[in-house]
């Protein structure tokens, strides 16, 4: 009898291990589903630019009233989308059990009726791509995949900002970008699809609702939701305060600069007056980011938003210097968010960070161009570690002192909530069996 009971205990232990492995496998499979979902969108975008730029040349765009840089930038976007397709395909195919989806058959006939309709549709697709990445990044459990998704998402946002501006829309219409669910995106792209050699599978996005359990852990419900340890919870607060440190700097910079320079100063510097209007919009966005981050941090258990530091912007004496510094700060913001999005465990906070990151990228795209540079210089934005970003900020000379020591978050492993629950259940069952065994022996 004892031997039989011990065999049951051994079997339960194996079942426990198998269940935990199954949860990990499900999370890994969903990660690949997210990547294939992204690849589906990148295939669509790549095909659109290939067909559009094969149909129209630079002289046809010039005849339609667009300057020479427009066609050159479209070619750059085309190369970026091709790079995204290649990168995602390779990442998926080299993963265990990974199989990258092929391109579908598309119809862009109405979209390519003229250079103007081409640009209008390009703006729709790039904005859709941004909302898709922001809406699915918190479905990824693999930290490396999450970082790469963020680095592509911010480039999509840069494309969208430039195309919005070109088609007479705001390059950065709101302080937080939209994060659309995969089902919404699937509906949006359906009119462009003729047929696909596969069924488009939509990824699972981890639930964003969280509660604090009796052990002081923030717990989200759902099979693919993580269980948050206190270490992870504290690290999330550190990540938000790291973001707040940067947003406080940006906010103070714009308050100083826009109190010093007027619309007339921009015009006197030979710049369009709307540069001043866009600057005011960016300033408003940074203020909203500061307020939202403070509110979010202070609402968390043990959360306390860091105060602003003491800054020195006296070296900024003209509009040209203002634009150069703004460009630096916004691009540093993109690098900071892209480099830290995979340090956040709570899926709700991860999505907030993603929707701020893409807005920072939109700002940066405009400011790059305002400074004579490319709005989107690379196919993937660079993500820098919190340590590198903090060192860059402190070395800028803009920060005089801080009432705290700026610090950054670390990548913390995520436990699966379902695994924890079943680990507890199996443990109880094992204890019960052992109790019965003791009774039998007695």
C-beta of residue 421 within 8 angstroms of C-beta of residue 239: no
Mean pLDDT on 239-268: 97
Q: Label residue 168 left, alpha or beta by phi (over 0 means left) and psi (-120 to 50 means alpha).
A: left
The count of structural domains within the chain is 1
428 falls in which pLDDT band (50, 70, 90)? Answer: very low
**The whole model's pTM is what?**
0.87
Of the pLDDT bands very low, low, confident and very high (cuts 50, 70, 90), residue 101 is very high
The parent domain of residue 246 ranges over 2-441
Distance CA 359, CA 170 (A): 12
CB count in 10 Å sphere of residue 419: 20
Q: What's the rounded Cα separation, in Å, for the pair 309 and 297?
A: 18
| Residues 75-82, mean pLDDT to the nearest whole number | 98
DSSP string, 248-289: HHHHHHHHHHHHH--HHHHHHTT--THHHHHHHHHHHHHHHH
32's tokens:
């690949």
Tens-digit pLDDT profile for residues 339-382: 999 999 888 888 899 999 999 999 999 999 999 999 999 999 99
Averaged over 190-208, what is the pLDDT? 85
Model pLDDT for residues 137-181, shown as the tens digit of each residue: 888 888 899 999 999 999 999 999 999 999 999 999 999 999 999
Q: Which residues contact 126 (CB under 8 A, 6 or more apart)?
A: 45, 77, 156, 159, 160, 163
Q: Is the pLDDT of residue 277 over 50?
A: yes
Predicted confidence (pLDDT) at residue 273 exceeds the cutoff of 80: yes
Say how far apart CA 113 and CA 399 lie, in whole Å.
Answer: 52
Q: How far is the CA of 72 from the CAs of 79, 118, 130, 190, in angstroms? A: 11, 15, 22, 29
Q: What is the mean pLDDT of the chain?
A: 86
Tell whether the model's pLDDT for residue 308 goes beyond 80: yes
The stretch 95-123 carries a mean pLDDT of: 95
Specify the residue for token string 């294939």: 36
Indicate the pLDDT class of residue 418, thresholds 50, 70 and 90: very low
């Amino acid at each position: 009898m004892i031997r039989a009971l011990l065999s049951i205990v051994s079997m339960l232990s194996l079942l426990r291990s198998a269940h935990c492995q199954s949860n990990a496998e499900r999370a890994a499979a969903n990660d690949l589903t997210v990547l294939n979902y992204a690849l589906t969108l990148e295939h669509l975008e790549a095909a659109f630019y290939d067909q559009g730029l094969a149909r129209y040349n630079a002289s046809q765009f010039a005849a339609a009233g667009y300057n020479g840089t427009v066609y050159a930038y479209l070619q750059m976007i085309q190369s970026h989308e091709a790079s995204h397709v290649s990168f995602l395909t390779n990442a998926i195919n080299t993963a265990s059990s990974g199989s990258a989806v092929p391109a579908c058959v598309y119809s862009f006939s109405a979209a390519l009726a003229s250079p103007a309709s081409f640009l209008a549709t390009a703006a729709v697709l790039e904005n859709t791509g941004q909302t898709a990445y922001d809406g699915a990044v918190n479905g990824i459990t693999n930290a490396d995949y999450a970082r790469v998704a963020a680095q592509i998402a911010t480039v999509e946002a840069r494309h969208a900002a430039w195309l919005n501006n070109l088609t007479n829309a705001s390059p950065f219409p709101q302080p937080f970008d939209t994060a659309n669910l995969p089902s919404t995106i699937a509906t949006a792209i359906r009119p462009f699809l003729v047929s696909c050699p596969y069924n488009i599978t939509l990824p699972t996005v981890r639930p964003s609702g969280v509660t604090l359990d009796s052990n002081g852990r923030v717990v989200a419900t759902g099979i693919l939701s993580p269980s948050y340890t206190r270490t992870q919870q504290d690290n999330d607060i550190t990540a938000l305060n790291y973001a707040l440190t940067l947003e406080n700097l940006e906010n103070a910079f714009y308050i100083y600069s826009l109190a010093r320079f007027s619309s007339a100063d921009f015009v006197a510097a030979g710049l369009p007056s709307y540069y001043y209007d866009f600057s005011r919009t960016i300033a408003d966005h940074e203020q909203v980011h500061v307020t939202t981050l403070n509110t979010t941090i202070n609402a968390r258990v043990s959360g306390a938003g860091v105060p602003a530091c003491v800054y020195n912007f006296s070296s900024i004496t003209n509009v040209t210097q203002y634009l150069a510094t703004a460009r630096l700060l916004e691009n540093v913001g993109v690098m900071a968010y892209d480099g830290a999005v995979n340090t956040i465990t709570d899926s709700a906070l991860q999505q907030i960070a993603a929707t701020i990151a893409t807005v920072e990228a939109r700002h940066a795209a405009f400011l790059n161009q305002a400074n004579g540079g490319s709005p989107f210089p690379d196919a993937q934005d660079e993500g820098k570690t919190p340590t590198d970003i903090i060192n860059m900020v402190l070395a800028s000379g803009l920060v005089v002192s801080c009432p705290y020591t700026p610090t950054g978050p670390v990548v913390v492993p995520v436990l699966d909530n379902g695994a924890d629950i079943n680990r507890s259940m199996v443990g109880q069952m094992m204890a019960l069996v052992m109790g019965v065994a003791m009774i039998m022996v007695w």
